[in-house]
Structure 1
Amino acid sequence: MKLRTKFLLSFVLIILILVLTIATVLYNVSVNTIKNNTASYSRFLIDQIGINLEKRTSDIEELAFEVFRLSNLDQVPIQESDDHTGSVLRSKDIADYLSNLLYSQPYIVRAAYIEPNGAPRHIGKTLDSDLAGIGLDRVDIERVKQMRGKAIWVPGSEGTLLMFKSLYGLTTGAYVGTVVLGIESNQIENIYTEINRLTSSNILILNEDHQIMNSGGIVPELAAFFMDNHFYLHRDSSTHSFQWNNTNYLYTVLSTSSDKWSIVQIISVDELTRGTSVIKYWTIHITIIALIAAFLLAAFLSKSITSNVRLLLHSMTIFTMDFSHRIIVPRNRDEVGLLAEKFNLMADKISELVNTVYKEKLLKQKAEYRTLQFEYKALQAQINPHFLYNTLESIYALAKLKGEEQIGELIYLLGSLLRESIGKKGDTIPLREELDFIRDYLTIHQIIYEDKIAVCYELDERWMDCVVPKFILQPLVENAIKHGIEEKPGKGTIRIACRSEGETLILEVTDNGIGMDEATIDKVMNPGNDPGLPVKDKHTRVGIISVHKRIGILYGGEYGLSIRSVPGEYTTILIRLPIMRGEERDEKESDRH
Structure 2
Amino acid sequence: MKNKIHSFYSRLKIKHKMILLLTFILFAFSSGGLMVLQYAFHVYNEEIYKQSAQSLSVSSNSIENELIKLERLSFQLTTDIYVQHYLQQLKSSTSNYEQYIIGMNLRKRLLEIGGSDKYINSIQMYDMNSYDYSIGNRQVIMHEERVKQIMSQAKEHKGGARWVFPGDADPSLLITREIRAYENISLDTIGVLALRINIEELAKDFTNSLKDYNAHLVIFHEGDVVYPLESPISKEKLKVNFTGDSGYHLMDEEREQYFVTYTPAEYTNWTYTIITPFSNLFEAITYVKNAVFIVNIGLFIIILYLSIRLMNGITAPIESLNKKMKIVQSGELDLFVETNKESFYQDETAEMHDNFNVMMRQINELITENYKKQLVIKDSEFKTLQAQINPHFLYNTLESINWTAKIEKQEKISKMAESLGNLLRSTISMKEPIIPLNKELEIVNNYLTIQKYRYEERLSVETNIPSYLLTIPVPKFVLQPLVENSIRYSLEKRIGHCAIKIVARKADDFMFLEVTDNGPGIEEGSVTQLLRGEISSTGTGLGLKNIHERIQLLFGEKYGIHIMSEIEKGTTIQLILPYKEESEDVQCVIG
The TM-score range, normalised by the shorter chain, is: 0.3 to 0.5
Q: TM-score, normalised by structure 2?
A: 0.43
- Give the number of the structure whose alpha-carbon radius of gyration is greater: 1
Q: TM-score, normalised by structure 1?
A: 0.43
